[in-house]
Amino acid sequence: MNGSTDSMAAVAAVLRDAASQQPELLRPAEQQLQQWEKLPGFYLTLMQVYLNQSLDTNTRWMAVLCFKNGVDKFWRNVGEHKISEDEKVATKI
């Protein structure tokens, strides 16, 4: 994830599907989010989605939920897919 507008739009679209009640949208969205959660810059992109007030509330809250869960999993300095120090600093508001 590079924090671009394209990245944010792609993440927002998947988050919208992840908030769906339709299994055919929900399952692939969850799988995509699981792949992205290990990429550098993903948590900054989630913050951009959350802060974008033009997006619907469910999409923004899904971004918050994914951010919280990712911090729980990857914030500590252990493991292969930890959040980088640069990204940690950038996400602290």
Describe the crossing of helices 42-51 and 5-18 by its angle, rounded to 10 degrees. Answer: 80
Predicted TM-score of the model (pTM): 0.83
Question: For every one of its 93 residues, what pLDDT tens digit does the chain have, with 9 covering 90 and above?
Answer: 766 778 999 999 999 999 998 999 999 999 999 999 988 899 899 999 999 999 999 999 999 999 999 888 887 766 677 777 788 788 776
CA–CA distance, 21 with 5 (Å, rounded to integer): 26
For the chain, give me the number of helices (H) and strands (E)? 5, 0
Can you tell me which residue has the tokens 């992109």? 45
CA–CA distance, 56 with 38 (Å, rounded to integer): 25
Backbone CA torsion sign across 19, 8, 29, 63: negative
Q: Where exactly are the structural domains of the chain?
A: 5-91
